[in-house]
């Protein structure tokens, strides 16, 4: 049985300076990307995280839907206001942070499938959707949407049954969403600050690419 996201438990594990210090948590939204965009336009601080128990119109890349049943998974959008030079690294930082958090919390080995799908044993565990608003070559805001299948049973959803997995399916036990999300943001902030200080994540991201050296077909 799922329980509501426990903010206290999340903050106890959070070690960041600014990521996740403001948490907006909703029972049900269309997409956390849309709520985060509203907050960004109202001037919300960098590092604000928008979280929902359920999404009724969760979006994936390339116009796909993101299966978002209540209480089981992480549906989160992180609001950032990076310099233009750091913006291009967000699509590496996000999957890397998720991969590092999975390894830290569960010990499972994780790969990244180009450009930023997070895979375990050839199945998709998590995805990243980045939407940014630029004005006159300045980044107004970036919305880093992360969907992680934490306690999902993929067999309940025929549309993803063959292609998706979850931490629960892989480990055989429940993972605490609060602790996982805090670890994810701890990792994300480390990678983000490093990129800001001139240490891009390119090498670490490339080393995890499961498509490295293989021929891939890209559909645009």
Confirm or reject binding of residue 180 to ligand BTN (CB under 6 A): no
Our CB check for ligand BTN shows the closer of 32 and 186 to be: 32
Does residue 147 belong to the site contacting ligand BTN (CB under 6 A)? yes
Task: Give the DSSP H/E element, type plus range, for residue 191.
Answer: helix 177-196
If you search the block for the tokens 């983000």, which residue do you land on? 192
Between 46 and 131, CB nearer to ligand BTN = 131
CB 28 to ligand BTN: min, Å: 13
95 binds ligand BTN (CB under 6 A): no
Residue 192 touching ligand BTN (CB under 6 A):
no
Angle between helices 90-106 and 177-196 (to 10 degrees): 140
Closest to ligand BTN by CB, 138 vs 157, is: 157
Contact between 183 and ligand BTN (CB under 6 A)?
no
The answer to whether 166 contacts ligand BTN (rule: CB under 6 A) is: no
Closest CA to 187 of 15, 49, 28, 44: 15
- 82 binding ligand BTN? (CB under 6 A): no
- Binder to ligand BTN among 37, 59, 168, 177 (CB under 6 A)? 59
- Residues of 147-176 as b/e, b for ≥16 C-beta within 10 angstroms? bbbbbbebeeeeebeeebbbbbbbeeeebb
For ligand BTN (CB under 6 A), the number of binding residues is: 20
Element (DSSP H or E) covering residue 75: strand 74-80
Q: CA 130, CA 77: separation in Å to the nearest integer?
A: 9
CB nearer ligand BTN, residue 124 or residue 187: 124
Q: Based on the shown chain and the rule CB under 6 A, indicate whether residue 208 belongs to the binding site for ligand BTN.
A: no
Report the residue number, 62 or 172, with the smaller CB distance to ligand BTN.
62
| 58/190 with CB nearer ligand BTN | 58
- In sequence order, the 6+-apart residues with CB closer than 8 A to the CB of 37 are 131, 133, 141, 143
For residue 115, give every residue at least 6 positions away whose Cβ sits within 8 Å of its Cβ, in sequence order, or none: 91
Place of tokens 């438990």: 9
- Collapse the DSSP code of 80 into the 3-class scheme (helix H, G, I; strand E, B; otherwise coil) and give the result: strand
Work out which of 10, 20, 33, 187 binds ligand BTN, going by CB under 6 A.
33
Site of interaction with ligand BTN (CB under 6 A)? 31-33, 55, 58-61, 64, 66, 75-77, 117, 127-129, 145-147
């Amino acid at each position: 049985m799922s329980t509501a996201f426990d903010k206290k438990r999340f903050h106890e594990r959070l070690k960041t300076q600014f990521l996740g210090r403001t948490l907006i948590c909703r029972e049900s939204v269309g997409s956390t990307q849309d709520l985060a965009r509203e907050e960004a336009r109202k001037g919300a601080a960098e590092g604000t995280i928008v979280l929902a128990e359920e999404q009724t119109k969760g979006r994936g890349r390339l116009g796909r839907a993101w299966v978002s049943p209540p209480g089981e998974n992480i549906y989160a959008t992180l609001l950032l206001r990076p310099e233009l030079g750091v913006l291009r690294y967000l699509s590496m930082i996000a999957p890397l942070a998720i991969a590092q958090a999975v390894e830290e919390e569960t010990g499972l080995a994780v790969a990244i499938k180009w450009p930023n799908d997070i895979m375990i044993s050839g199945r998709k565990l998590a995805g990243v959707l980045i939407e940014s608003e630029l004005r006159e070559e300045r980044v107004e805001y970036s919305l880093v949407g992360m969907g992680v299948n934490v306690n999902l049973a993929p067999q309940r959803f025929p549309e993803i049954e063959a292609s998706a997995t979850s931490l629960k399916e892989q480990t055989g036990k429940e993972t605490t969403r609060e602790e996982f999300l805090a670890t994810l943001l701890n990792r994300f902030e480390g990678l983000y600050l490093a990129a800001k200080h001139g240490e891009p994540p390119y090498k670490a991201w490339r080393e995890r690419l499961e498509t490295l050296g293989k021929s891939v077909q890209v559909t645009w």
